[in-house]
Structure 1
Amino acid sequence: NEMAQLRAGKSSKSKLLIAKFKSAKSLKGWEVNQGSYFPNAYASGSSFDEGIDASFEFSEGGQAVFAGFVFTRGGYVEISKRLSLPLGSTLDRYDGLLLSVGGNGRSYVVILETGPLADTSQSKKYFARMTTKVGFCRVRVPFSAFRPVKPEDPPLDPFLVHTFTIRFEPKRQRPGDGTQGATDPRNFELILEYIKALPTGQETDFILVSCTGSGIEPNRREQVLKAKKAGEDALRRSGLGYTIVRPGPLQEEPGGQRALIFDQGNRISQVKYHGP
């Protein structure tokens, strides 16, 4: 039975534990940094510098809490750590990351840094966005979702990853996010339970058939799309490997002229089909 669970990807042993936050000692090596996308934001007397403060501490309630605020224009705060994987383990054997987190429902940027540790000037950074919900949830971030910070850099090679970062920035936050009384999108709280790597080909997949809204009666379309979106969001937060299919209308035209490549979110690209 244990072997069957392992093969199905349901056993915790099938995932690689990257970090588990169970005591104050588990925060060792994590650094809190802050910055701004605008170089003059920190200039003396600048009207843009309204304040940044953040901490990553183990609370009396036994939780690892990354919290604070960012009032400075273009500002951000982040926590980062150089990875220390078990001997013989490399991330190229895995499909992505799984984070068990809680907090007040903010979105964050996950950044992976690659390159030689001895020469950080050669490092390359890759980012992907993750959205949390109020309370606890599991968030799956596939390696395929990461994009290079510099467009000219090659795609992410998980084998070369050496540093992991979680960044909070006020932009892209919705004012309605968060718990009652904490709706200012410049405030945040992220509770971290663990970070794991999802194994290639072993994580159970869930296929959800959603919709694009085509063919639905106009007076019911908004209600149906809202329900479908809620289902998609719940699946994305579940931590499962998933595929979301949104069937569209068929056309009375010959097929096979172009191939569609479906990526994360709503990114769809086309390539011409040249045949065998």
Structure 2
Amino acid sequence: MTNETRGQWDLGRFIQTLNYFEVVPPLNWIQNILQGKFFQNSQNQPDGAKKMGVILVAGATGGVGKRVVQRLLQQGYRVRCLVRDIEKARNILGNDTDLIVADITKPETLNELVMSNIQAVICCTSVRVQPVEGDTPNRDKYNQGIKFYQPEIVGDTPENVEYQGVKNLVEAAAKYLPQGDEKLVFDFTNPSTDLKNIWGALDDVVMGGVSSSNMSFLDSSAIFAGNISIANSGGFASVRTKNFDPAINLSGYEGIDLKVKGDGKRYKLFLRSDSAWDGVGYSYSFDTEADTWINIKVPFSNLIPVFRAKVVRDRPPIDTSKICSLQLMLSKFEYDGELNPKFSAGAFALEVESIKAYGGSKLPRFVLISSAGVTRPGREGINLEEEPPAVRLNDQLGGILTWKLRGEDSLRTSGIPYTIIRPCALTEETGGKELLAEQGDNIRGKISRDDVAELCLQALQETAASNVTFEVKQGENQMGNPGWKTLFSQLKSDS
């Protein structure tokens, strides 16, 4: 045989590949024991459902904000907390939370460093309202909403925080949030450590070949590159993600959008809906233009079920509700023995900026916590004696509700899919009561901060919560099965 058809197979690289993708568990156990990482293995599994984008939380150190952060982290989301005082925030949120210093009243601080890679925003900011100094030594009662004490604004004004600050945050976020019908799967413009640890090389070394590749990460992109050889009957190189646990749910979307800059060669994208190492993958071939950024639309309906470059007949369409892994490949083969018409051995490079799902239903991208009562100051027919303190004392409190309403309006007119939550009096009581939601701004009552925080998270996952404004209070019964979809589906979209 000639050097073109015969090469030195690398056993060590073959074992490394099996170990990286955990094909043979004992190899991982041995390596982890040798490296002192035996008990850390379960932490290496990527969470595809939640870790592909950042949730930005403004007002993260407040009563609701800190609960939102805690819940997001518990459920595996990547969270970025916008704070003004880093030391205070550390004391409240802990040392393991991603904190970034910015001030919504100062738009110049809401820069790319703050906004990069955000998937959604939860805004819990509010001016500080507390009892007048000396009014009562037991201020917890005011916070509980149990008894009324004379309140006062402390710090910045409602106009600056509730209106101008919210408006600044909305305008900054609008430049960076994904479009309403897109879901960001991988953003390589600012790759995190988690992202870098997900992708690994899977080359023809597993079949005896000698091709080699890797995924390297630059400041604003990733590059799938290497050298492909047909020696030893080989001829493919690829990079693949570890299996996601839980899987990525892309049901309701039409397909995948790749933004790539290639070298004129034809590549393949593979998606898998099961975690088998050598199972069926769903493939799509796409051509690139040399040194030119292009978007490749990959409809799920056009994916071809393939096993080792052979089409699997009578296979059902891919289950988009559980995408377990993704793979990029350069191969000399197309399907069923056909050759890739744009294949050539040697060096190659495919630069990738992002991988998104497109054509989906619009989920909320911005959740704003406002307040019940924002439309009541000055409304005809209002009996102030029956209203909460903020309504009765709106003018004395710097027009707090009036400015909150202006802040809502800035979000409603922004074009960002949103949810505006207007809670009644906030309490420190334990959550878990049934939630009663209405529209029209007429209800009175109270609600636990715990339940408001949970509402914020649930809104991000429900299309029925998109572009709605509602008031909410707790009922008398325990929540039981909350039926979030039912709760949101009963609400009418804002006109």
1:36–1:75 contact (8 Å) kept in structure 2: no
Question: What is the match of residue 237 of structure 1?
Answer: none
1:36–1:76 contact (8 Å) kept in structure 2: no
Could you say what secondary structure the match of 1:79 adopts?
Answer: strand
Quote how far apart the aligned CAs of 1:192 are. Answer: 0.8
Q: How does 1:64-103 map to 2 (within 5 A)?
A: 64-72=222-230, 73-82=233-242, 90-103=249-262
2:261–2:294 contact (8 Å) kept in structure 1: yes
After superposition, the C-alpha distances for 1:104-129 in whole angstroms (9 at most, x for unaligned) are: 122111111113x4xx2795321111
Question: What is the match of residue 331 of structure 2?
Answer: 169
Separation (CA, whole Å) in 2 of partners of 1:186 and 1:170? 11
1:24–1:57 contact (8 Å) kept in structure 2: no
Provide closer, same or farther for how the CA distance between residues 85 and 91 of structure 1 changes in structure 2, counting only shifts above 3 A: farther
Question: What is the match of residue 15 of structure 1?
Answer: 182
Q: Using CA pairs under 8 Å that are at least 6 residues apart, name the structure with larger relative contact order, 1 or 2.
A: 1
Provide closer, same or farther for how the CA distance between residues 58 and 31 of structure 1 changes in structure 2, counting only shifts above 3 A: same
Separation (CA, whole Å) in 2 of partners of 1:63 and 1:165? 16
| The one of 280, 297, 304 aligned to 1:140 | 297
Question: What is the match of residue 208 of structure 1?
Answer: none
2:237–2:330 contact (8 Å) kept in structure 1: yes
Could you say what secondary structure the match of 1:159 adopts?
Answer: coil
Asked which structure has the greater CA Rg, the reply is 2
Provide closer, same or farther for how the CA distance between residues 94 and 67 of structure 1 changes in structure 2, counting only shifts above 3 A: same
Question: What is the match of residue 348 of structure 2?
Answer: 188
Quote how far apart the aligned CAs of 1:33 are. Answer: 0.8
| Aligned-residue identity in percent | 21
| The one of 115, 128, 135 aligned to 2:284 | 128
Quote how far apart the aligned CAs of 1:62 are. Answer: 4.4
Provide closer, same or farther for how the CA distance between residues 126 and 106 of structure 1 changes in structure 2, counting only shifts above 3 A: same
Could you say what secondary structure the match of 1:164 adopts?
Answer: strand
1:95–1:143 contact (8 Å) kept in structure 2: yes
2:228–2:237 contact (8 Å) kept in structure 1: yes
TM-score, L = length of structure 1: 0.54
Per residue, is there more strand in 1 or in 2? Answer: 1
Quote how far apart the aligned CAs of 1:174 are. Answer: 4.6
2:244–2:325 contact (8 Å) kept in structure 1: no
Separation (CA, whole Å) in 2 of partners of 1:162 and 1:86? 8
2:255–2:298 contact (8 Å) kept in structure 1: yes
Instruction: Tell me which amino acid in the other structure corresponds to 1:79.
Output: V
Moved more, 131-140 or 24-33: 24-33
Could you say what secondary structure the match of 2:223 adopts?
Answer: strand
Aligned residue pair count: 173
Is 2:199 the counterpart of 1:30? yes
1:20–1:193 contact (8 Å) kept in structure 2: yes
Per residue, is there more helix in 1 or in 2? Answer: 2
Quote how far apart the aligned CAs of 1:130 are. Answer: 1.5
Quote how far apart the aligned CAs of 1:85 are. Answer: 9.2
| The one of 195, 215, 224 aligned to 1:56 | 215
RMSD after superposition: 3.3
